[in-house]
Structure 1
Amino acid sequence: ISITQKICPLCDEAKEELKPYKKRFILEEVYIDRVENSSWYNKYKNDIPVFHLNGQFLMKHHINKKLLEKSLEKLENQTERNSNYSSSGREGVN
């Protein structure tokens, strides 16, 4: 999730930096300047852009490529392991 607002040059810059990663995740934008997103506004009004990955806070203000890469690799490895368990019939086995 990208937490942003309609006019935000820093957000636009951050989204540009994310373009090389676009095949590795789906970027959902949440505009805090919309009434329906007031809870996000109250939490992050002075911190945008803010990025969450897989439901967890990841970073704010600028893209930390090292952190992003590490977090994506961790998520991809976890997804791959879950897929392997599923295809081997070992679901739910520790």
Structure 2
Amino acid sequence: MLNLFPKLLCYIKTSPRIIRTSCSQRALPVLTLFTKDPCPLCEEAKEMLELYKHRFVLQEVDITLPENSVWYDRYKYDIPVFHLNGQFLMMHQVNTKVLEKRLAKSEREPV
């Protein structure tokens, strides 16, 4: 009986937002921001992401920390750098067309 409960939620007549939240089994993609402190360009980039923040989980990686030395060596001259689900996405600034395209692709992938 407990296994049927999530499926029953899908059939409850309520607002579409609640149904979408209750029935969704898809985890949001992870958008990783490689950054450092201070990074004014990173702050600008995060502001540009505000419109999309409901479509991903933002994870920030401070490349100046000792445990992130590999990322520091790779991106010290290029931040902000973004990866989506572990794959390179963009650098230097937010490209909304690239972001939109990759988020849409991620949303279409099977659960």
Separation in structure 1 between the aligned mates of residue 47 and residue 64 of structure 2, nearest angstrom: 21
Give the alignment's TM-score, normalised by structure 2. Answer: 0.70
Give the alignment's TM-score, normalised by structure 1. Answer: 0.83
2:99 corresponds to 1:68: yes
The aligned residue for residue 9 of structure 1 is 40
Residue 14 (structure 1) shift: 0.3
The aligned residue for residue 45 of structure 1 is 76
Unaligned runs of 5+ in 1: 84-94
| Equivalent position amino acid for 1:24 in 2 | R
Q: What is the DSSP-based 3-state SS (H/G/I as helix, E as strand, rest coil) of the residue aligned with 1:23?
A: helix
List per-residue Cα deviations over 1:7-27 (Å, max 9, x = no partner).
010010001100111110000
| Equivalent position amino acid for 1:51 in 2 | F
Residue 5 (structure 1) shift: 0.2
Separation in structure 1 between the aligned mates of residue 50 and residue 56 of structure 2, nearest angstrom: 10
Q: What is the DSSP-based 3-state SS (H/G/I as helix, E as strand, rest coil) of the residue aligned with 2:54?
A: coil
- Identity over aligned pairs, percent: 59
* Structure 1 moving runs of 4+ over 6 Å: none
Separation in structure 1 between the aligned mates of residue 78 and residue 63 of structure 2, nearest angstrom: 11
Separation in structure 1 between the aligned mates of residue 33 and residue 99 of structure 2, nearest angstrom: 13
* Higher Cα radius of gyration: 2
Separation in structure 2 between the aligned mates of residue 35 and residue 54 of structure 1, nearest angstrom: 23
- Please tell me the root mean square deviation across aligned C-alpha atoms, in Å: 0.7
Unaligned runs of 5+ in 2: 1-31
Aligned residues: 80
Residue 2 (structure 1) shift: 0.2
